[in-house]
A and B are shown apart, each in its own frame.
Chain A
Amino acid sequence: EPEVTQTPSHQVTQMGQEVILRCVPISNHLYFYWYRQILGQKVEFLVSFYNNEISEKSEIFDDQFSVERPDGSNFTLKIRSTKLEDSAMYFCASSESSANTGELFFGEGSRLTVL
């Protein structure tokens, strides 16, 4: 069964360092998303991406964050200068149609620990 894959599964970094989280969405999906879940809290929307551009972003997704689809398969989330409060599980998701109508499929997540 097709699945969303994410790497790395766990990354530990020092505050102020840049981090890139990688995702391979399901191959025929057109819409891509990043969500995050701080330990013990709700899953929160970060950004949605369609047709090589951001379609929506939350207030969490500030200038420290960026997303990119560098080739036909990968979808990345970059955090330029990590802060302690960026420690969370980051989930990539994809859907065949927009989040309005389509079912979202999530990856296993990348756990980011900022020291």
Chain B
Amino acid sequence: KQEVTQIPAALSVPEGENLVLNCSFTDSAIYNLQWFRQDPGKGLTSLLLIQSSQREQTSGRLNASLDKSSGRSTLYIAASQPGDSATYLCAVTGYKLSFGAGTTVTVRA
């Protein structure tokens, strides 16, 4: 059974600092990995999708890396802003998405 872990559970940084969010998974036989953002009481917004054959994916200030053999992905958010405050979830696919519990980020102005 796939287990997805995200560390740390919470993170608070001053505005402008770079964010590093970690995701690990136990079964390396994945098809892809997806990072989501969730605001309180809201839905999941897809940020990046990395196919298992890829090592990284970039979108604006976001960069996600994937090391399938070691079961790890890292989401980097450059030059954080207060608007980046949210919970960030990673999810990996076999036949379904298995989610981590998320990292709740607070960016202090």
Q: A103-B46, A109-B43 are in contact. Are A42 and B99 (CB under 8 A)?
A: yes
Query: Quick check: B93 and A42 within 8 Å, CB to CB?
Result: no
Q: Mark B39-59, 1 if CB is under 8 A from A, else 0.
A: 001111110010100000000
Q: Mark A84-115, 1 if CB is under 8 A from B, else 0.
A: 00000001010000011101111111010000
Q: A42-B99, A45-B98, A106-B36 are in contact. Are A100 and B42 (CB under 8 A)?
A: no
- Chain B residues contacting A82 (CB-CB under 8 Å) are none
Which of B44, B46, B49 makes the CB contact (< 8 A) with A43? B44
Chain A interface residue number, banded: 20 to 34
Answer yes or no: B23 CB below 8 A from chain A CBs: no
Q: Mark B92-109, 1 if CB is under 8 A from A, else 0.
A: 011111111110000000
Q: A42-B101, A43-B44, A43-B89 are in contact. Are A101 and B96 (CB under 8 A)?
A: no
A91 to B49, CA, bound (A): 19
Q: Which applies to chain B's interface (DSSP): helix, strand, loop or mixed?
A: strand
- Chain A residues contacting B34 (CB-CB under 8 Å) are 103-104
- Chain A residues contacting B49 (CB-CB under 8 Å) are 103
- Chain B residues contacting A76 (CB-CB under 8 Å) are none
Q: Mark A41-69, 1 if CB is under 8 A from B, else 0.
A: 11111001000000110100000000000
Query: Quick check: B51 and A101 within 8 Å, CB to CB?
Result: yes
Which of A41, A48, A109 makes the CB contact (< 8 A) with B96? A48
Q: In whole Å, how far is A109's beta carbon from the nearest beta carbon of chain B? A: 5
Chain B interface residue number, banded: 20 to 34
Which of B32, B89, B91 makes the CB contact (< 8 A) with A100? B32
Q: A42-B101, A43-B89 are in contact. Are A101 and B32 (CB under 8 A)?
A: yes
Instruction: Please give 13 more A-B residue pairs, beta carbons under 8 A apart, in addition to A45-B98, A99-B96, A99-B97.
Output: A6-B43, A43-B89, A55-B95, A56-B96, A91-B43, A99-B95, A100-B93, A101-B32, A104-B97, A106-B36, A106-B46, A108-B43, A109-B43
